[in-house]
Amino acid sequence: MNFLWHRPWAARLAAWMVLAGFVATIHACQTPVFRYALERWKPSVYPLLIFHRGPLTPEQEQAVAALRQLGETQKLANVAVRLVEVSSSLPAGVETVWKAQTNATLPWVVLRYPDTEPESPDAWAGPLTPRHLEKLVDSPLRRAVVRGLAAGHAVVWMLLESGNRAADDRAAALLEQELKTAQRRIELTPDPDAPDQTNLTLEVSFQLLRSPRQAPEEELFLHTMLSVEPQLAARETPIVVPIFGRGRALCALPESQITPKVMREMLEFLTGACSCEVKEMNPGLDLLMTANWEEVAGAKRYSEPPPASLVGLGSLVEKTNAPPSPPAPPAVAATPPPAAPTSASPLVQNLWIFGASLAAILGLATWWVTRRAN
């Protein structure tokens, strides 16, 4: 996982921006991060292991089938279910997860974070019940987040209240003030060198959602989100979580780190140009949610398709896993003459600029050495 959690926000963001700046010298995407993420970053999948001995009850089988339908068939929830018979030989990684469980009563559910090692903490673990499976992937707060992003808000800011009314109101007041200022200040201007072809106008707006951390219907959702950082989850403080894209949490910050400076840094990143198109190289954690994200993103795309000369990691994986293509049929007609070259891609243009600059530097160095020799 590659997310910026609460320690230390500014240093991690600064380090990421150095990397992003380097990538931007090779290829710059002018689409804002929040929009590019909504259109192109598919949520990472949470593995869900169900340890059992013998057959499940009809009620349990029905609940598991419904979850599989939601995640693996309809592709609405980013979860993959796997049944594990404990009386059989277990794969090494699965066995490590099973041995780490305490007071487990079969059948037992273990939800894992995406792309983590077997020794890492679980997102959640508990007995198999239909209610648990339902609440792991859906809840009122998550539905409110999806509605906010579908309504066109760039970021939905989730304020998890601590129960201390003064602290909660203080954090909410700061958020409201900074977000109102940002909505007036931030303007998205299209790149004149890459005009938008979709006629889709973006506006920057934000939504603030307040929810008690002790809300029973959100217990599993907040547990899976905050278990990433046990020390933060244990603190009795308001926590702010900015959510963008397809349910991606940028970070989780306690009240002590919710300052105007940090707010501006987060907003600059989220509304700035997406310098790195590969999701895994950007900060954030995909939350476990249920939504038709393709419908939320809409048919129109503000972001330009990635150029053929720049293949992202995701494209490499897709090509590796794709079935082999059938051989092309033999040619039966003469090959037409090649078309006239069109304008070079951004990558080619940058390589030309780099080569010309390098040649100029070498030329100056040669002239200087020759002059000193004479």
Q: Look at residue 271 and tell me whether its pLDDT is greater than 80.
A: yes
* Secondary structure (3-state) at 32: strand
Contact (CB, 8 A) for 139 and 220: yes
Please state, in angstroms and as integers, the Cα–Cα distance from residue 285 to each residue in 138, 229, 296, 305, following that order: 17, 12, 19, 24
| Residue 354 counted as domain residue | no
Q: Compute the distance between CA of residue 51 and CA of residue 35 in angstroms, rounded to an integer.
A: 39
**Average pLDDT for residues 319-326, to the nearest whole number?**
38
In 3D, which of 158, 167, 157, 156 has the Cα closest to residue 256?
167
Model confidence band, residue 364 (pLDDT cutoffs 50, 70, 90): low
On whether both 266 and 166 belong to a single domain, the answer is yes
Q: Look at residue 343 and tell me whether its pLDDT is greater than 50.
A: no
Q: Compute the distance between CA of residue 267 and CA of residue 346 in angstroms, rounded to an integer.
A: 27
On whether both 53 and 35 belong to a single domain, the answer is no
On whether both 129 and 195 belong to a single domain, the answer is no
Cβ neighbour number for residue 207 with a 10 Å cutoff: 19
In 3D, which of 110, 109, 310, 116 has the Cα closest to residue 228?
116
Q: Compute the distance between CA of residue 257 and CA of residue 265 in angstroms, rounded to an integer.
A: 12
Q: Look at residue 15 and tell me whether its pLDDT is greater than 90.
A: no
Lowest mean pLDDT among 21-25, 47-51, 212-216, 266-270: 21-25
**Average pLDDT for residues 140-166, to the nearest whole number?**
96
Those residues whose C-beta lies under 8 Å from the C-beta of residue 213, and which sit 6 or more positions away, are 160, 161, 162, 163, 222, 239
On whether both 219 and 103 belong to a single domain, the answer is no
**Average pLDDT for residues 228-251, to the nearest whole number?**
94
Please state, in angstroms and as integers, the Cα–Cα distance from residue 315 to each residue in 34, 40, 279, 309, 326, following that order: 21, 12, 12, 12, 20
Determine the pLDDT at residue 20. Answer: 45
Q: Domain of 20?
A: 9-42+140-297
Model confidence band, residue 314 (pLDDT cutoffs 50, 70, 90): very low
Average pLDDT along the chain: 80
| Residue 373 counted as domain residue | no
On whether both 151 and 262 belong to a single domain, the answer is yes
On whether both 227 and 240 belong to a single domain, the answer is yes
On whether both 20 and 50 belong to a single domain, the answer is no
| Residue 56 counted as domain residue | yes
| Residue 316 counted as domain residue | no
**Average pLDDT for residues 26-45, to the nearest whole number?**
84
Q: Report which DSSP code applies to 109.
A: E
On whether both 146 and 67 belong to a single domain, the answer is no
Which has more confidence, 11 or 119? 119
Q: Look at residue 342 and tell me whether its pLDDT is greater than 70.
A: no
| Residue 309 counted as domain residue | no
Q: Look at residue 166 and tell me whether its pLDDT is greater than 90.
A: yes
Across 189-198, 213-222, 333-342, which has the greatest mean pLDDT?
Answer: 213-222
Q: Look at residue 105 and tell me whether its pLDDT is greater than 70.
A: yes
Q: Compute the distance between CA of residue 111 and CA of residue 47 in angstroms, rounded to an integer.
A: 6
Q: Of 271, 297, 323, which residue is a domain's last? A: 297
Q: Look at residue 59 and tell me whether its pLDDT is greater than 80.
A: yes
Contact (CB, 8 A) for 285 and 123: no
| Residue 201 counted as domain residue | yes
Across the chain, which distance is largest between two alpha carbons, in Å?
94
Across 142-146, 226-230, 334-338, which has the greatest mean pLDDT?
Answer: 142-146
Helix, strand, coil percentages for the chain (3-state, nearest 5): 45, 15, 40
On whether both 70 and 107 belong to a single domain, the answer is yes
Q: Of 83, 114, 137, which residue is a domain's last? A: 137
CATH code for the domain in which residue 67 is found = 3.40.30
Q: What is the pTM of this model?
A: 0.75
On whether both 192 and 218 belong to a single domain, the answer is yes
Q: Look at residue 210 and tell me whether its pLDDT is greater than 70.
A: yes
Q: Which residues of 279-303 are buried (b: 16+ CB within 10 A; e: fewer)?
A: beebbbbbbbbbbebeebbeeebbb
Model confidence band, residue 200 (pLDDT cutoffs 50, 70, 90): low
On whether both 221 and 256 belong to a single domain, the answer is yes
Domain count, the chain: 2
Please report, as a single letter, which amino acid is at residue 292: N
Q: Of 86, 111, 137, which residue is a domain's last? A: 137
| Residue 370 counted as domain residue | no
Residues of the chain with pLDDT > 90, as a percent, come to 61
Determine the pLDDT at residue 201. Answer: 63
On whether both 120 and 243 belong to a single domain, the answer is no
| Residue 336 counted as domain residue | no
Which has more confidence, 136 or 370? 136
Q: Compute the distance between CA of residue 342 and CA of residue 308 in angstroms, rounded to an integer.
A: 14
In 3D, which of 237, 246, 63, 235 has the Cα closest to residue 142?
246
Which has more confidence, 14 or 59? 59
The two structure tokens encoding residue 200: 């889709």
Which has more confidence, 316 or 266? 266
Q: Look at residue 191 and tell me whether its pLDDT is greater than 90.
A: no
The two structure tokens encoding residue 341: 């070259």
